[in-house]
Chain A
Amino acid sequence: MSIFIDGNTKLIVQGITGRDGSFHARQMIEYGTHVVAGVTPGKGGQKFDGSVPIFNTVEQAAKSTGANTAVIYVPPMFAADAMMEAADAGIPFIVCITEGVPVLDMTKVYPFVKEKGARLLGPNCPGLISPGKSKVGIIPGRICTPGPIGLVSRSGTLTYEVVFQMTRAAMGQTTCVGIGGDPINGTNFIDCLTAFEADPDTEAVVMIGEIGGTDEQEAAAFVKEKMSKPVVGFIAGQTAPPGRRMGHAGAIISGSAGTASEKMEAFEAAGIGVAKRPIDVVQLLKAR
């Protein structure tokens, strides 16, 4: 098993003819993901790489193919609309890779998607991968390997680093999920922890957080109260100065809230093994 995506995932790629969309559509197909349709307004009726049908709207794509997942690679100013279009077309799982979506747009998208009963991952996230089954997004497939560890992270390349070190140590993964670094995102740590707890194949979970906000603290409380599986964690940004946004729109320490030490303390108080370095995640998993 795995969470959110597996061998039954049937994927629509929104923005499939764009620079990023086309590149990653090919990568996903190569990995074995069932890419059943693409959407680019005005290119309906054409085929992507001679095989994937392109539609003008998500609604047409969904009706014709029975897709159950959509991934979005459209420019930031169009991303909010793309997320709402997918939700309105009845797609139950929507992954938005696009970086730079205005946060006020997300205040509208979030309740809209909820009302339609869909799950949104992102925006500004690397997507997710269930090794050996399916990948949706941009996580490099070759650094992952199937196994019993679930991973959830707010970061992109830091996730790759940790996954790579786990794979080198022969610790495979059920699913690796990047929830994204924006202040408002569709899926949070607790959503992923809940899914990993319910997934019979996941034996332990790695949680990678960073400075800013209180999601990690809330996740820690959830782990303490609701989780039976062991969790290990890492927090990036111990050296980040307050008041400065560290790349991710969400990675800012404001006032006294959101520091790395505060989050690490919350992890420790919840019985989560805290890695001082990314490599220590592997040691902590071995010791569990």
Chain B
Amino acid sequence: MNIHEYQAKEIFRAAGIPIPPGEVATTPEEAERIARKFGGTVVVKAQVHAGGRGKAGGVKLAKTPEEARKVAEQILALTIKGLPVKKVLVTPAAEIATEAYAGVIVDRASKRAVFMVSPAGGIDIEEVAAKTPDKILRHSVDPRYGLQAYEAMQLGFFLYSDVKQARAAAKIMQQLYSAFVASGGSLAEINPLVTTPDGEVVALDAKMVIDDNELDRLTALAALRDESAEDPSEVDARKANLTFIKLEGNVGCVVNGAGLAMATMDLVKYYGGEPANFLDIGGSSNPEKVVAALRIITADPSVKAILFNIFGGITRTDDVANGIVTAIKANPLKVPLVIRLTGTNEEIAVKILQENGLSAMTDMDEAVKKAVSLATGKVAA
């Protein structure tokens, strides 16, 4: 789960990390009021789940409250990487002497939380990794002991030669690790971690991604989810316990299992079509899930044909057939439907479909070809 910068800053602040004050505005007037309260120059920052906010014009300086209102108005009108900006963070502008990077992620290779720090901060860390890899220090943390003081100091001294600044940074690393673990993070990042002209070490930005699997036990964090910042169809899918990702094509896909769903999308492309989505109805499917899946897919006007690809294992294909029939009876389809199903209770499923004027195929390639030709109006290669 992605959270906003202002939410990540609240978590980091609670862990003790020094972060300048800031408040969230949803209107230009509010932004003006906050800017007046802080006085002096402020930064107005788009709160949206997308990287590259600065390049997209989503981060601007304002010297006066009136200017804060003006730039907030501009930013609140932006759509960054397909996501509309609905909130801005207004924070006093800091004077910056140096910019560094500090982050912690779960690393699949070492199977541990790994710190990455770099004195070359303020820019995309992947760019630093590609161009000047020697400017990044990686350090994996033994989960039994956590980040020890001496380890934190190694990270601190990699960033700063001044011992006071190194100590300050070390303390921030330990605080960042605590926040990361306590919040069930899969990523926590400060970019930039700055020094001010009078030598203070301060976090100017904050980013955090929370492992979705943690949300059942971290209920307070689950409440941080901002559905207005997500694609509405993806929100709908999550509520129905489906995994859905919208894509640009016109063949709607309903599949059980993530691997088979990806393989089905690939096969659509192989036969000359473009998948409209990734949709996994999961293992133990019930008819309601299928109804929700069809509702979500048919809401997309670019979908010209719908393909079901179900390999019944735990998933009972008769459940899927019942779901299809229920959904179509309630809302007749305006686009053609191709159903491929095989596996558990296949005979029952085929009978249910036939009784309702539908037919099913058993071969995956044949079904995909048919769906592609129906969507494109051409015979699939």
Contact = CB atoms under 8 A, between A and B. Distances in A.
Contacts of B267: 277-278
B214 interface: yes
A244 B266 contact: no
Nearest to A247: B258
Interface string B194-229: 000000000000000001111011000000000000
Contact of B260 (A155, A183, A276): A155
Nearest to A139: B313
Contact of B181 (A104, A140, A246): A104
A77 B216 contact: yes
B111 A104 contact: no
A170 B312 CA distance: 21
A103 B186 contact: yes
Nearest to B265: A239
B245 interface: yes
A161 B106 contact: no
B126 A255 contact: yes
B261 interface: yes
Contacts of B364: 161, 278-279
Interface string B264-277: 01111110000100
A255 B125 CA distance: 10
Contacts of A247: 243, 257-258, 261-262, 278, 280
A126 B258 CA distance: 13
Given A247-B280, A251-B262, A108 B144 contact: yes
Main secondary structure of the interface of A (DSSP, over half): loop
A156 B109 contact: no
Contacts of A278: 263, 267, 364
B256 interface: yes
B259 A156 contact: yes
Contacts of B263: 155, 158, 161, 234, 236, 278
B323 to A, nearest CB: 17
Contacts, number: 159
Contacts of B143: 104, 107-108, 111
Interface in A229-256: 234, 236-241, 244, 246-251, 255-256
Contact of A246 (B111, B258, B284): B258
Interface in B321-351: 342-344
Interface centre among B111, B216, B262, B278 (most CB of A within 10 A): B262
B262 A102 contact: no
Contact of B262 (A156, A210, A214): A210
Interface residues of B, number: 52
Nearest to A243: B51
A124 to B, nearest CB: 9
B247 interface: yes
Given A107-B112, A239-B265, A159 B216 contact: no
Contact of A140 (B245, B261, B313): B313
B4 to A, nearest CB: 17
Given A104-B184, A106-B111, A157-B257, A239 B213 contact: no
A237 B245 CA distance: 13
B184 A138 contact: no
A126 B109 CA distance: 22
A208 interface: yes
A83 to B, nearest CB: 14
Contact of A236 (B212, B259, B311): B259
A239 B266 contact: yes
Contacts of B106: 103-104, 107, 183-184
Given A104-B113, A139-B313, A277-B267, A158 B259 contact: yes
B259 A155 contact: yes
A267 interface: no
B314 interface: yes
Given A210-B258, A238-B266, 4 more contacts: A104-B211, A110-B111, A111-B144, A278-B364
Interface of A: 20, 76-77, 99-104, 106-108, 110-111, 126, 138-140, 143, 153-161, 164, 181, 183-184, 208, 210-211, 213-215, 234, 236-241, 244, 246-251, 255-256, 260, 276-279
6 contacts: A77-B216, A104-B181, A181-B259, A183-B106, A244-B278, A251-B258
